Structure 1
Amino acid sequence: MRKVIAAINMTLDGFCDHTAGIPDEEIHQHYTDLLNEGDVILYGRITYQLMEYWQPMVKGPSGEKTMDDFAVAIDKIQKIVFSHTLKNIGWDSAKLANRGLEEEVLELKQQPGRPIFVGSRSLIVQLIKLNLIDEFQLCIYPVVEGSGLPLFENIKKRTILKLIKTKVFSGGAVMLYYEPINGKSDFAG
């Protein structure tokens, strides 16, 4: 069974905003390596449209190796986009989901292959509620944003996580790797 990995950037005060972090060469390389380990990444419309930023760099590299390598990796990995408003996807390696999130993820988990990544806050929240995330990889940037979208918004179920690994980046960001501890959740409303 394939593993579902929620991989997302956050500020120190818990907000998810792809523009709030300060990615450097080391972080770009980390995410390039991560994408090369997976078969598919799931996005909501907003995050998908933010990630389209990388598409032109495949044909017109920036000259910064780690950014260009990341652009190639994000271009290569299959992307499934969950959207009620998008009608067309302009990226060859992307497609619109034609089923609901739960059905899509359950089927993907049963297929042979490498990990399934989830890169959108909204999808992560939904998958937490469905108990379908096998691992969290949270990159915490040393930034206090003050406002934004909290990752764990509207979660009613208490979930206990086990820290399995950490990675500290030279720029001050910290990657925290957690697994949910099955059977040790309780409901708080």
Structure 2
Amino acid sequence: MRNVVVHMGLSLDGFFEGPDRDISWHKVDEELHQHFNEELATRSAFLEGRVTYELMEEYWPGADQDPDNPAVMQEFAGIWRTVPKIVFSRTLQEVGPNATLRAEVDPDEIRALKQQPGGDMTVGGVDLVETFRRLDLVDEYRLYVMPVVIGRGRRLFESADTPTDLDLLEERRFGNGVVMLRYAVRR
């Protein structure tokens, strides 16, 4: 059985992005990026909203062709191309290689995907994360708390209106001060 995992960087005050989609404050150094590569290379699918997909697709497919990029970034370019993607969008008409398009989240389809063998699936994009949370499709949260307070932007759980009980499975501190908190949804 595969889990749906939210994999998200946050400021200490709960924002995943600042004004104008700014994420320059994310503290992703070589150690943290290598951790991301190790985690994400095992995924059986990236489940993404349109905005996240377009941002990732704009940069990562060819990032390993730039000799100035560090080895960990070049490695992630290959991971990005290899891992299948399901993109949820009502406006996109087509997606790139190794990606399929869905107009909306079908909870039965996601539950069927979860029953298949293989690695966990990562859901990305705050609106899509909220949809998955509301439909009780999220199994785990891997939140990377950055050692910064940004004061304003978009919060990860800004539209959550009901409590979700969680069990702490793991915590890990990285050399740059980032702390990963891994929670399972209690059912």
TM-score (norm 1): 0.89
Aligned to 2:10: 10
1:142 is aligned to: 147
What is the aligned counterpart of 1:123 among 122, 128, 131? 128
Partner of 1:30: 35
Distance across 1 between alignment mates of 2:165 and 2:114? 22
Deviation at 1:63, TM superposition (A): 4.0
Amino acid at match of 2:8: I
Supply the distance in 1 between the matched residues of 2:170 and 2:141 (Cα, whole angstroms): 11
Map 1:36-185; keep pairs closer than 5 Å.
36-52=41-57, 53-89=59-95, 91-97=96-102, 100-182=105-187
Q: Count matched residues.
A: 181
Per the alignment, in what secondary structure is the counterpart of residue 29 of structure 1? helix
Query: RMSD across aligned C-alpha pairs, in angstroms?
Result: 1.6
Structure-2 change in CA distance of 1:43 and 1:62 (3 Å): farther
1:55 maps to amino acid: P
Q: Percent identity?
A: 38
Q: Give the whole-Å Cα distance in 1 for the aligned partners of 2:179 and 2:165.
A: 20
Q: Does structure 1 conserve the Cα–Cα contact (< 8 Å) formed by 2:90 and 2:103?
A: no
- SS of match in other structure, 1:158: coil
Letter of the 1:134 partner, please give it: D
SS at match of 2:109: helix
Q: Which runs of 5+ in 1 are unaligned?
A: 183-189
Query: TM-score under structure 2 normalisation?
Result: 0.90
Structure 2 unaligned segments of length 5 or more: list them: none
- Contact residue 2 and residue 115 of structure 1 kept, 8 A: yes
Q: Following the alignment from structure 1 to structure 2, what is the Cα–Cα distance between the partners of residues 104 and 59? A: 36
User: Which deviates the most, 96-105 or 164-173?
Assistant: 96-105
Shift of 1:99: 5.2
After superposition, the C-alpha distances for 1:38-63 in whole angstroms (9 at most, x for unaligned) are: 11010101111111211121344544
Partner secondary structure for residue 16 of structure 1: strand
Kept after mapping to 1: 8 A contact 2:6/2:123: yes
Deviation at 1:36, TM superposition (A): 1.2
Deviation beyond 4 Å, 4+ runs, structure 1:
none
1:157 match: secondary structure? coil
